[in-house]
């Protein structure tokens, strides 16, 4: 993965420049609220998937699709703003969440603005009109699924019997479909055929699910100064993540951690889950998804971009923040 880090850094620099141009420089309080999390940084992984998928289908085509790549980052940020409201989180990307820096109504509207502007930028991509219609449809369906997945996630908080298939369906919708759309949109706009588009869509879907599983691990394991988020917020809120489900299957009772957690409490929870083999089991499931997802890429010709896509999948399940 030696070439992945500089590639991701290059994509992030490009997207950051576009964010400055199209979002940060706008006046008005609502625009500032909309740009707040966008400007706070981020790994810009979804734009990278758009660009790599495009170049894997048609080398050099990503230069014409930068607005589409930006659209995926804007969509992702809209979901973060609304998620933070629903989860009442105070920290995101190392800065105050939008609803705590402004207020909830402003944050809701800020997210709505980003949702609308994502489609505006997607339509600004330099591609054939019929391809853009397919891309817009793909992103719209992804957004609807994301909302359904978030609703499932919230409903799980009132249950203690969520099983692994239910969790995987929730994660498929909440996280997987946006990575699927990123890869699929890149392929569609670059002129990919139906086999290539389907393969890249499925690659994005499976790696996206693995990404969320790793995100759940990071929520527990990474301190705030590394992750930019509140540590162990899922544990505190009793969220039915795969970690919690596997812990319950092994007879562990994590309800005692549904409170304001001290560093000692978090350390004890991590130790308990480690000793029971839960953390290793969950890591294994995520790694298996990535291995399966890479098989989809065999329909593409060998290239640097195809290898980088495989490297991204591996990065998704080895990252620590």
User: How far apart, in whole angstroms, are the C-alpha atoms of residue 146 and residue 194?
Assistant: 24
Over residues 86-110, mean pLDDT: 93
Is 152 in contact with 175 (CB distance < 8 Å)? no
Residues 6+ apart with CB under 8 A from 103: none
Q: Look at 140 and 2; give whichever has higher pLDDT.
A: 140
Is 210 in contact with 289 (CB distance < 8 Å)? yes
User: How far apart, in whole angstroms, are the C-alpha atoms of residue 39 and residue 93?
Assistant: 10
Over residues 121-138, mean pLDDT: 98
Q: Where are the domains of the chain?
A: 4-316
Residue 1: predicted pLDDT: 62
Residue 147: predicted pLDDT: 96
Radius of gyration of the chain (CA): 19
Query: H-type helices in the chain, by residue range?
Result: 4-19, 29-39, 45-57, 66-87, 98-101, 104-123, 129-156, 164-171, 177-189, 194-221, 224-227, 233-237, 242-249, 263-275, 278-295, 304-316
Over residues 167-178, mean pLDDT: 97
pTM summary value: 0.92
Is 50 in contact with 127 (CB distance < 8 Å)? no
CA distances from 61 to 53, 55, 126, 232, 266 (A): 10, 6, 9, 41, 46
pLDDT at 85 exceeding the cut of 90: yes
* Fold of the domain built from segment(s) 4-316: Farnesyl Diphosphate Synthase (1.10.600)
């Amino acid at each position: 993965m030696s070439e992945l880090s500089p590639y991701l850094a290059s994509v992030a620099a490009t997207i950051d420049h576009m964010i400055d141009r199209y979002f940060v420089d706008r006046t008005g309080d609502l625009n500032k609220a909309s740009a707040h999390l966008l400007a706070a940084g981020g790994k810009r992984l979804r734009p990278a998937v758009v660009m790599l998928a495009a170049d894997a289908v048609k080398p050099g085509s990503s230069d014409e699709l930068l607005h589409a790549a930006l659209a995926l980052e804007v969509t992702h940020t809209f979901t973060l703003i609304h998620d933070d409201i629903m989860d009442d989180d105070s920290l995101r990307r190392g800065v105050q969440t939008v609803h705590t820096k402004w207020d909830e109504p402003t944050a809701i509207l800020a997210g709505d603005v980003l949702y609308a502007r994502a489609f505006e930028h997607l339509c600004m991509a330099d591609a054939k009109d019929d391809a853009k219609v397919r891309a817009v449809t793909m992103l719209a369906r992804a957004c609807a699924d994301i909302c359904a997945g978030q609703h499932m996630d919230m409903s799980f908080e009132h249950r203690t019997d969520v099983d692994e298939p239910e969790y995987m369906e929730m994660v498929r919708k909440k996280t997987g479909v946006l990575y699927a759309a990123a890869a699929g949109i890149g392929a569609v706009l670059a002129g990919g055929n139906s086999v290539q588009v389907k393969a890249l869509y499925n690659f994005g879907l499976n790696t996206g699910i693995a990404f969320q599983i790793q995100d759940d691990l990071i929520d527990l394991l990474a301190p705030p100064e590394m992750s930019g988020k509140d540590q162990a917020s899922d544990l505190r809120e009793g969220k039915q993540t795969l970690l919690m489900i596997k812990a319950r299957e092994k007879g562990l009772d994590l309800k005692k951690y549904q409170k304001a957690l001290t560093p000692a409490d978090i350390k004890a929870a991590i130790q308990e889950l480690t000793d029971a083999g839960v953390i290793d089991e969950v890591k294994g499931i995520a790694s298996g998804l990535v291995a399966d997802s890479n098989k989809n890429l065999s329909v593409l010709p060998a290239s640097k971009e195809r290898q980088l896509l495989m490297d991204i999948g591996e990065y998704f399940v080895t990252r620590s923040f």
